[in-house]
Amino acid sequence: MRTISHFFDGKAAPFSGERTGEVFNPALGVPQARVDMADAAVLDAAVERAKAAQPAWAALNPQRRARVFFNLKALIERDMQELAELLASEHGKVVSDAKGDIQRGLDVVEFVCGIPHLLKGEYTEGAGPKIDVYSMRQPLGVVAGITPFNFPAMIPLWMMAPAIACGNAFILKPSERDPSVPVKLAELMKEAGLPDNILQVVHGDKIVVDAILDNPGVKAVSFVGSSDIAHYVYQRGVAAGKRMQCMGGAKNHGIVMPDADLDQAVADILGAAYGSAGERCMALPVVVPVGEATADALRARLIPEIEKLRVGIQTDADAHYGPVVSAQHKARIENYIQMGVDEGAELVIDGRGFSLQGYEDGYFLAPSLFDRVTPAMKTYTDEIFGPVLQMVRSQSLDEAIGLASRHQYGNGVAIFTRNGEAAREFAQQVEVGMVGINVPIPVPVSYHSFGGWKRSGFGDMNQYGMDGVRFYTRVKTVTQRWPSGDGGIVDQSFVIPTMK
């Protein structure tokens, strides 16, 4: 069986095999690789290598650091097909969707190609008599990123591209469920010209995550995953004095107004609810029609379209989505479907019991649709993270805004309407970090930034964009004066200096 090992000194480390995890092919339901799982000693050694390598990388002028990312862009484009197939084979998403995962990370690589400009500081000439003030952004040193299974290319690139471009050394701890693409990205970074140990990949689970959080040499940690773990990681990291940025789970609502373009809204909701088998933090698993007539019309249009959706293996070019990531996750989603029935929601379409010929052991689920879901239900408040769409009927825009605003998660939200005033009101009022107006998956472009509110994000800086640059640097401000030294009046003061 294929083995996946840590990556340091510019190459894959020898496979230790001491403590390993299994990496499955979700379409077949069988393990396809074994991955090494690090302990604290492995992590501590990675931090020491990173500390030794980082000063020389930070001392390179930013234009030369940027050139590594120009090269990386070309290499990722060269290997796009191979990367997408590898990603899909471990994650379960279809290959076309895997390319989107890589492309979204590539967008951040393109953004950091402008790092010389992004790092420019501020300057004030003559802030006082013969006094000038300037500020600069300096890297933190050694930083780390811990990433989830559902975007094994995009999310590592969200973190490592700005961190490294800013002059840090970066240790990536990817999800142990689909760790191959992160290692490939490290190999491509090496090929692009990155010096050894500026990027290392260390695989593992809670043991290595705790080691990252406890190692004083790691100055900042970026985490993306489920909310309980994000909160735990945030608290432990902050208690250790680190800069932390921890993104959590989601339950994004799509509000459908009576004046919405229903054909477009239905097409958008289908893709956003069921694409990637619903395993996206920016999926749209809750639809909130405003008014009974809108709800009935939407339901009538959704049902035949959902029944047409094709579930297939990752390389099936006609499949809308593939298997979910693991047997445990499939069972968890099925439990939530049963819970929804038991809680009294109407299960309009039941996706359980689906079997794909030739892939009977795969983790497939057909799409499910619930109607008459209420805010009191646990299936509404929890993140299901599967191909399950829940309809919550509301009677007014205010009620719909209140639903999204009061939910424990506040990652993304969308409104479908032709009414600019309603859309504007909605965008202003709703307590959610990323808003789509007739856009079902409002993931901001790489030169803005990504972040949810409430239990979807702990910490105060977003991923990528200028917040990425801010997160991975600290500001130093210099106040300088050059006395003439000609024996004139020497200025002395025992009061706090002011610029007079």
Q: Which of 113, 166, 246, 281 is catalytic?
A: 281
Q: What are phi and psi of 418, to 5 degrees?
A: -105, 5
Bridge partners of 434, per DSSP, are: 412
Min dist. Cβ of residue 441 to ligand NAD (A): 12
163 vs 262, beta carbon nearer ligand NAD: 163
Candidates 367, 272, 360; CA nearest to 313 is 360
DSSP 493: -
224 vs 288, beta carbon nearer ligand NAD: 224
Residues 319, 325, 331: CA angle, nearest 5 degrees: 105
Residue of minimal Cβ distance to ligand NAD: 225
Min dist. Cβ of residue 143 to ligand NAD (A): 16
**d(Cα 145, Cα 99) in Å, to the nearest integer?**
22
Min dist. Cβ of residue 122 to ligand NAD (A): 30
54 vs 147, beta carbon nearer ligand NAD: 147
Min dist. Cβ of residue 132 to ligand NAD (A): 41
139 vs 182, beta carbon nearer ligand NAD: 182
Min dist. Cβ of residue 339 to ligand NAD (A): 18
Long-range contacts of the stretch 337-341 (C-beta < 8 A, 24+): 337/368, 337/388, 339/378, 339/379, 340/370, 340/373, 340/377, 340/379, 340/388, 340/390
332 vs 372, beta carbon nearer ligand NAD: 332
Helix, strand, or coil (residue 113)? coil
DSSP characters for 121-171?
-EEEEEEETTEEEEEEEEE-SEEEEE--SS-TTHHHHHHHHHHHHTT-EEE
- Which stretches of the chain bind ligand NAD, using CB under 6 A? 146-151, 173, 175-176, 205-206, 209, 224-226, 229, 233, 247-250, 281, 383, 385, 411, 452, 456
C-alpha pair distances (Å), 405 with each of 255, 275, 412: 12, 24, 11
> What is the residue type of 66?
A
Report the relative pairing of strands 122-128 and 457-458 from DSSP bridges.
unpaired
Told to judge if 246 belongs to the known catalytic residues of this protein, a careful annotator would answer no
Catalytic residues: 281
